[in-house]
Amino acid sequence: MLTLENVSVSYGAIEALTDINLQVNQGEVVTLIGANGAGKTTTLRTITSLLSPREGRVMFEGKEISSIAAHKLLPMGIAMSPEGRGVFANLSVRENLEMGAYIRKDKKEIADDMEKGFLMFPRLKEREQQKAGTLSGGEQQMLAMVRALMSRPRLLLLDEPSLGLAPLVVHRIFEAIDEIRAGGTTILLVEQNANAALHHSDRAYVLETGRIVMEGDSKQLAADPRVKEAYLGE
């Protein structure tokens, strides 16, 4: 479904990603784990065309998307919940979700999808008319995820959904990831919380200073002594 072929990205003279090869197949949850500054967010920003690769290419369903305008990716079926949530603090929860459905015109079904989102996270329903800026970090994350789902994406990119959240909320977020996957959406999950990410995914890539150093089945990686030592704190 999504393939990165030999992708390298630089910020000016600094190389942020080197020769990344990554694949996400239909129906999978794939996770990309790594420490701060390893290049996880850069990878997602490259996939969503907010950055363009210096070398290599990004393919989605057989089409090259490396140089397509960022706003044209959503109609193709790629949505993202960005790092730091990226909710529109000056818009209400409802308006944020309307923005998530910006490219759609089927009002009836948009309303249905919004209700589905409220079922997934009832807290959002309670806060429907509130400005998104007044929500807690966890609620903003829930909003960012539901907002991304409002376009009915086939591929959902999640950038550090658990960052800075209380354990109970993190638990709820990962449950939701399982629910979204069960609904048929393919997911690429970028996480620092390697433990949770490996338990809620099929395959994983480990990123270190801009290079993929390990990849494989999530369960196997979770059992790998190197991963345990470096990322699981064991």
Least distance in angstroms from the C-beta of 50 to other proteins: 6
How far is the CA of 192 from the CAs of 7, 202, 206, 218, in angstroms?
A: 22, 17, 10, 14
Rg, Å, the chain Cα set: 17
39, 53, 56, 82: which one contacts other proteins (CB under 8 A)?
82
Contact 108, 66 (CB under 8 A): no
79 touches other proteins by CB under 8 A? yes
| CA dihedral sign, ordered 181, 203, 60, 38 | positive
35, 86, 163, 199: which one contacts other proteins (CB under 8 A)?
86
| CA dihedral sign, ordered 58, 63, 68, 69 | negative
Contact positions with other proteins (CB under 8 A) in 103-142:
103
- Give the separation between CA 220 and CA 8, rounded to whole angstroms: 27
230 touches other proteins by CB under 8 A? no
Number of residues located near other proteins, criterion CB under 8 A: 27
Binding segment for other proteins (CB under 8 A), chosen from 20-28, 69-77, 194-202, 216-224, is 69-77
80 touches other proteins by CB under 8 A? yes
Least distance in angstroms from the C-beta of 225 to other proteins: 38
Q: How many CB atoms lie within 10 A of CB 133?
A: 12
| Closest CB to other proteins among residues 70, 232 | 70
**Maximum Cα–Cα distance across the chain:** 51
Binding site for other proteins (CB under 8 A): 48, 50, 69-75, 79-80, 82, 86-91, 95, 98-100, 102-103, 147-148, 151
